[in-house]
């Protein structure tokens, strides 16, 4: 790879002049400039971004830490992040933790070592200290989907309203006994949807039933098994609310296997919708999460924070919080 030096030699000027010409960072005589451009072109010169980064103290890279990608909302969010980041001149590094705190710790430790200017994370909640440390060391941090520390910026959806809206919607549809499939209450999205749902349930006088399983939460099997159990225990169940789409798919499967008719006998609604709900034999009603926009927003937020002049003085900027409304997409399961 050709370097600045090579270009300088060919153009018979100093490297500093080449740098200035190529970056348009101060006036350079047109003739000199032309010579430099010609030389750069001839050599196929591309600046070494690593050296630039080292020199300037900016890496133009953000790290994204999420539990997993396939069949989750995160693959869509990640695309939003990556697109916006690229548009703003940033690279996107990705880590998938499978929600294992140890893996997450390893990822974060590696990322902090000077490779990224900022980290967007949908975390396990088990590395709160480390995250604070990282932020204190000058790397911006934005929480994604899951908010666990109000001192760190965040981009989330309004899960509480989502849970309440879902309950109200089912009530209006005539449901009176709703099964609720969720996940670990350590994680804010599950907790908040539950809270919102419960509050609405009280107000409306709905009956609610719950179920859990030892399986991985964000999975088809989890939804399937929870639905099975609730259907076993409550023959008069008339709706199932699932936290995420894949659980909803599991519930639909469990319900249809019993020969129950959706939506006539029982309705199924997911509370974290992404496109898959619309691709089914019986399309699934869901609270759609504006995943792409949330990703873009997170990228924008963290890059703004990175570029804040205050950072230079080692000051930590005040955390920003952005919350997106989830919107009901009515389909065939309700």
Distance CA 217, CA 200 (A): 24
Among the residue ranges 143-151, 191-199, 272-280, 318-326, the one whose residues contact a second copy (CB under 8 A): 272-280
Give the three-class secondary structure for 288.
Answer: strand
Cα dihedral value 308, 76, 158, 272, nearest 10: -170
| Closest approach of DNA to the CB of residue 305, in Å | 20
Tokens of 88: 């703003």
Distance CA 33, CA 19 (A): 10
Of 29 and 110, nearer to a second copy (C-beta) is 110
Interface contacts to DNA, rule CB under 7 A: 1, 3-5, 12-17, 19-20, 22-23, 25-29, 31-33, 45-48, 51-52, 54-57
Residue 22 binds: one of a second copy, DNA, none (C-beta under 5 to 8 A by kind): DNA
Residue 25 binds: one of DNA, a second copy, none (C-beta under 5 to 8 A by kind): DNA
Distance CA 6, CA 2 (A): 6
Residue 202 binds: one of DNA, a second copy, none (C-beta under 5 to 8 A by kind): none
Site string for a second copy, 35-74 (x = CB under 8 A): ---------x-xxxxxx-xx----x-x------xxxx---
- Residue 140 · residue 160 · CB < 8 Å: no
Helix (H), strand (E) at residue 302: helix 291-307
Distance CA 234, CA 81 (A): 43
Residue 20 binds: one of DNA, a second copy, none (C-beta under 5 to 8 A by kind): DNA
Residue 296 binds: one of DNA, a second copy, none (C-beta under 5 to 8 A by kind): none
- Residue 163 · residue 138 · CB < 8 Å: no
**Within 10 Å of residue 172's Cβ, how many Cβ atoms?**
9
Residue 16 binds: one of a second copy, DNA, none (C-beta under 5 to 8 A by kind): DNA
Using the rule CB under 8 A, is 1 a contact of a second copy? yes
Distance CA 61, CA 218 (A): 29
Q: Which residues bind a second copy (CB under 8 A)?
A: 1, 44, 46-51, 53-54, 59, 61, 68-71, 75-76, 78-79, 82-83, 86, 91-96, 106-107, 109-110, 112-115, 133, 137-138, 220, 246, 249-250, 252-253, 256, 274-276, 278-282, 291
């Amino acid at each position: 790879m050709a370097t600045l030096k090579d270009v300088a030699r060919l153009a018979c000027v100093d490297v500093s002049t080449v740098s200035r010409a190529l970056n348009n960072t101060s006036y350079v005589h047109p003739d000199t400039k032309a010579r430099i451009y010609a030389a750069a072109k001839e050599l196929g010169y591309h600046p070494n971004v690593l050296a630039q980064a080292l020199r300037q103290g900016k890496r133009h890279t953000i790290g994204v830490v999420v539990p997993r990608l396939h069949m989750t909302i995160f693959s869509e969010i990640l695309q939003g992040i990556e697109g916006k980041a690229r548009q703003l001149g940033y690279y996107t590094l990705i880590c998938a933790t499978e929600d294992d705190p140890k893996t997450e710790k390893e990822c974060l430790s590696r990322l902090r070592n000077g490779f990224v200017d900022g980290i967007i994370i949908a975390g396990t909640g088990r590395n709160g200290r480390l995250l604070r440390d990282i932020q204190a060391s000058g790397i911006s941090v934005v929480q994604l989907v899951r908010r666990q520390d109000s001192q760190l910026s965040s981009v989330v959806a309004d899960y509480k309203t989502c849970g309440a809206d879902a309950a109200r919607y089912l009530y209006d549809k005539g449901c009176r006994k709703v099964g609720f499939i969720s996940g670990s209450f350590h994680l804010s999205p599950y907790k908040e949807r539950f809270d919102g749902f419960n509050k609405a349930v009280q107000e409306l006088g709905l009956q609610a039933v719950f179920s859990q399983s030892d399986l991985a939460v964000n999975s088809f099997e989890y939804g399937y098994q929870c639905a099975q159990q609730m259907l076993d225990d409550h023959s008069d169940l008339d709706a199932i609310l699932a936290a995420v789409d894949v659980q909803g798919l599991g519930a639909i499967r469990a319900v249809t296997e019993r020969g129950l008719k959706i939506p006539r006998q029982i309705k199924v609604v997911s509370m974290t919708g992404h496109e898959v709900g619309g691709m089914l034999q019986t399309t699934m009603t869901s609270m759609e999460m504006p995943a792409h926009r949330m990703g873009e927003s997170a990228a924008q937020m963290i890059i703004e924070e990175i570029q804040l002049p205050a950072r230079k003085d080692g000051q930590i900027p005040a955390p920003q919080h952005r919350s997106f409304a989830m919107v009901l997409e009515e389909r065939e399961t309700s």
